[in-house]
Amino acid sequence: MYKQIDSNKRKTVFLMVIFITFVLVLGYFFGELSGYGYAGVVLAAIIAFIMTLVSYYSGDKVALATTGAKEIKKEDNPYVYRMVENLCITAGLPLPKIYLINDSAPNAFATGRDPEHASIALTTGLIDSLENEELEGVIAHELSHVKNYDIRIMMVVIVLVGVVALLSDMFVRIKIFGNRNNKGNAGAIIAIVGLVLMILSPLIAKVIQLAVSRKREYLADASGSLLTRYPAGLANALEKISKYKNPMKRAGTATAHLFIANPYFSAKKFASKLFMTHPPIEERIKKLRGMA
């Protein structure tokens, strides 16, 4: 378990370094081609940061509302409430708000900018279909997202994606094709490389964002298993979840990455691994079975 946790943390840091380097390189080409230096990069960063900040403080409410989640108290479902409560005590976390989603598809997600402002949502299908140890494994996974500050990490990633998208849009709008900083052959090469990079950059940024998201899922699997000391519980839960092929009723593309498993299931069956919001469940189960 510790080996898996350390490995996934290193991989996340590596991906973040690549992403930041990519944005800096993109900023360099933008400055070279536009003649505006780094002013455009700074402006794009400010706009993306403001947009993400709004999402950061209100995104949890939007995610819960779009899925139709309803908050519960202990008297509404003592079984689920006490399980979350006990795991929070074990993990040293404050008790998050607990929500239920009336949906037969087994799934769950956690949201919130930090442990003090966290929420966890479970579908009724998840609660009905899983045994005690399996449900405990899923809840521990979601609480690990909270403890690992995954929402905060993804906020940084989304800011970087926003910067890339804005720079690409600005590249087109200011018509850089007539390079005002032409420096002979070197300038032409920079212009060609910059043009290709600007066109492909939104796609590259999205691929890196999804890669970071998948690594955080692996990390939450390992951290959750460390919390329960029973990896088989989560592995069994994922096996049951993977057998349910109908998509959730009210899951949106904007919130799909939050769930413990892709809420669309069969709809994403043929998608490339590069564009998957989650690692393949088979790989996650294999890693969990190999933990000791």
Residues 191-220: pLDDT tens digits? 676 667 667 777 877 888 788 888 889 999
Residue 39 has pLDDT above 90, yes or no: no
Residue 180 is classified by DSSP as: T
Among 11-25, 69-83, 225-239, which is the least confidently predicted range? Answer: 11-25
Residue 187 has pLDDT above 90, yes or no: no
> Average pLDDT over the chain, rounded to whole?
82
Q: Which domain holds residue 274?
A: 2-289
Task: State the pLDDT confidence band at 14, using cuts at 50, 70 and 90.
Answer: confident
Task: Give how many domains the chain has, as a whole number.
Answer: 1
β-bridge partners, 100: 70, 122
Q: What is the pLDDT of residues 268-288, one digit of tens each?
A: 444 456 668 788 999 999 999
Average pLDDT over every residue of 19-40: 73
More confident residue, 17 or 143: 143
Note if 142 is an active site residue: yes
Residue type, 273: K
What residue has token string 């799909």?
256
Q: Copy the structure tokens of residue 90.
A: 């074990």
pLDDT of amino acid 126: 97
The residue from 85, 142, 217, 282 that is catalytic is 142
Q: What is the C-alpha separation between 159 and 46, in angstroms, rounded?
A: 9
More confident residue, 48 or 230: 230
Give Cα separations from 118 to 12, 47, 136 (angstroms): 22, 26, 18
Give Cα separations from 180 to 3, 136, 175, 194 (angstroms): 52, 61, 11, 14
pLDDT of amino acid 91: 94
Among residues 216, 213, 243, the alpha carbon closest in space to that of 125 is found at: 243
Strands (E), the chain: 70-71, 97-101, 108-111, 119-123
Q: What is the C-alpha separation between 70 and 113, in angstroms, rounded?
A: 19
